[in-house]
A and B are shown apart, each in its own frame.
Chain A
């Protein structure tokens, strides 16, 4: 039992992202309301963003801006700085996530105008009748 706890605690960031991702996937697949599905999709994307951000992190490191630049106190140690690349990638991924969310919400509005409801089973009922 303690061993399992150690494994979980040592890599807690991965466990958090997996949990969040599964919550999001559950929302996309199992929820009946279209807005809830969109929320699930958003959680799913955010989980991956958290995963990327956490992997650039280093213990005891600082923000990736080179200090002591003017005096040149010895060589720059990469260990002292957080890896900025995953964070930069995630700026792009956040923009992508926002635009997907925007398109999805716009489509939800269009669906609502057409069927007057956002519950998927009611929409399917209407389609079957017509």
Chain B
């Protein structure tokens, strides 16, 4: 049975999604436990697969027994084993956490929202595990279309923001498909390993150069890299809070993973970094992304909207770190990918907890929230510390590698941007916490006895959030082991 783990990872959430859709009509109360079972099984398979890969090296799986260049091949090494485990575990935690909020907001549409969430996770897992360039496009569109639908389930401006996301996302995915088309013309294959083998002889080709640039632009559009980020803040901040806590941590991070996979394992480091010579330009773009993202985050007056700009900054970190083109920078980017999944998950889950009790989360509405919701705010403080990069939390270690990489590469612009954005994020979160710590001082309040009644979100929402917050510290403590066992083996020996 363990032979078929890679197929399980995609098949189980997919079949559970359809089952949950059907249960939405038949037995609504069964939606949650069935989905929990499916996601639990997926998470168990992913972790099992990661352990297997750590023990005995990369795993390849041929769907339906077809040989590699003709059939679709699933390929798992420690890089995507790690991403798979991060996706499935965070989706599992999110599933437990989101149940009360979903029940509150979507009582009549349980089947729809739960089924779409499962399909979204299916798309992400498939995108991560596949070793076939066209299969990646199809699963990318599965994840995107479900994300459009999930975001549009919100109120007020959600439909309009989602429609804008549809336009941008479709253009991005089509660019990726176009790049794959050029690669197919030149090599006649779609399998990633086969492409890597055939492309080594084609480094001088103009068509391959076009394919590379078009693919990268498509992926940058999907991951909201700075000049192409326009769709993200509106889409994520107008989405309902259970949905944004699922989409915000996973979608952009998986696209960063796809970029790393395409650059290192399809085009190869020799082509992406030495032959093309666009790495310095991309790092400068990342510098602009980090600085502009920080400044725009500073201009926001709403916690959820501010966090969407923080995502832009994090994407800038990862893209910039990867394109530094040395071992430390790449380690930092891959480690940050893992950390950022859980940092963003924690931050958006905390916002979801606040929104469960409060009417909104603009800074004015957050007054005195520390005494009302101490656990949620405590967890938000922990994630904020991690985003800023304070030592025991995981954010510090990935930032440290990024700084080292920037120093080694001589990219002082990126170094300054990293430090600048860390300082800005101190200001960002301090503003939030300062406002939330003090109660609103009106004259009426001064006469009344202060009421210290706690209005915490349900236990089912608080406990997973605290688990994620503790996980951030655990990831930080074990970061040395993660780097040496997971990250180091996947960086090609061309980098030293």
Contacts and interface: CB of A to CB of B under 8 A. Distances in A.
Contact of B178 (A51, A85, A115): A51
Interface stretch (B152-160, B192-200, B408-416): B152-160
A104 B163 contact: yes
Among A51, A103, A104, A108, the one with the most B-chain Cβ atoms within 10 Å of its Cβ is A103
Contacts of A28: 167, 171
B141 interface: yes
B170 A45 contact: yes
Instruction: Determine the interface band of chain A, counting residues with CB < 8 A from chain B.
Output: 20 to 34
Given A41-B171, A92-B138, A55 B145 contact: no
Interface in A108-122: 108, 110-111, 114-115
B163 A48 contact: no
Contact of A99 (B137, B145, B171): B145
Contacts of A34: 163
A37 B167 contact: yes
Main secondary structure of the interface of A (DSSP, over half): helix
Interface in A34-52: 34, 37, 41, 44-45, 48, 51-52
Contacts of B167: 28, 37, 41, 104
Contacts of B141: 96, 99-100
Contacts of A114: 159-160
A86 B145 CA distance: 23
A127 B137 CA distance: 35
Interface in B132-187: 134, 137-138, 141, 145, 148-149, 152, 157, 159-160, 162-163, 166-167, 170-171, 174, 177-178, 181, 184-185
Given A96-B141, A100-B145, A44 B159 contact: no
B174 A107 contact: no
B174 A44 contact: yes
Interface string B424-445: 0000000000000000000000
B166 A100 contact: yes
Contact of B159 (A45, A48, A55, A107): A107
A107 B177 contact: no
Interface size class of B (residues with CB under 8 A): 20 to 34
Interface string A7-32: 00000000000000000010010000
B229 to A, nearest CB: 16
B170 A48 contact: no
Given A28-B171, A41-B167, A103-B145, A52 B181 contact: yes
A123 B152 CA distance: 16
Interface string A80-106: 000001100100110010011001101
A127 B157 contact: yes
Contacts of B160: 111, 114-115, 123
Contacts, number: 67
Contacts of B162: 107
Contact of A107 (B148, B178, B185): B148
A55 B190 CA distance: 14
A18 to B, nearest CB: 10
A51 B181 contact: yes
Contacts of A106: 152
Nearest to B151: A107
A27 to B, nearest CB: 10
B208 to A, nearest CB: 15
A4 to B, nearest CB: 18
A104 B184 contact: no
A52 B180 CA distance: 10
Nearest to B169: A100
Given A103-B149, A127-B157, A93 B177 contact: yes
Interface in B264-310: none
Nearest to B162: A107
A108 B145 contact: no
A96 B138 contact: yes
Contacts of B137: 93, 96
A123 B157 CA distance: 10
B170 A111 contact: no
Given A48-B177, A51-B178, A111 B159 contact: yes
A55 B185 contact: yes
Contacts of B159: 107, 110-111, 114
A44 B170 contact: yes
Contact of A103 (B166, B171, B178, B185): B166
A23 to B, nearest CB: 13
A86 B152 CA distance: 33
Nearest to B174: A48
B197 to A, nearest CB: 18
Q: From A28, A45, A100, A114, name the one whose CB has the most chain B CB atoms within 10 angstroms.
A: A100
B73 to A, nearest CB: 15
Contacts of A103: 145, 148-149, 166
A127 B159 CA distance: 13
Q: Which 8 A-B pairs have the closest CB atoms?
A: A110-B159, A107-B163, A96-B141, A104-B166, A111-B159, A28-B167, A103-B148, A107-B159
Interface of B: 134, 137-138, 141, 145, 148-149, 152, 157, 159-160, 162-163, 166-167, 170-171, 174, 177-178, 181, 184-185
6 contacts: A37-B167, A48-B178, A96-B141, A99-B145, A100-B145, A107-B159
Given A41-B170, A48-B181, A111-B163, 13 more contacts: A37-B167, A51-B178, A92-B134, A92-B138, A99-B145, A104-B163, A104-B166, A104-B167, A106-B152, A110-B159, A111-B159, A114-B159, A127-B157
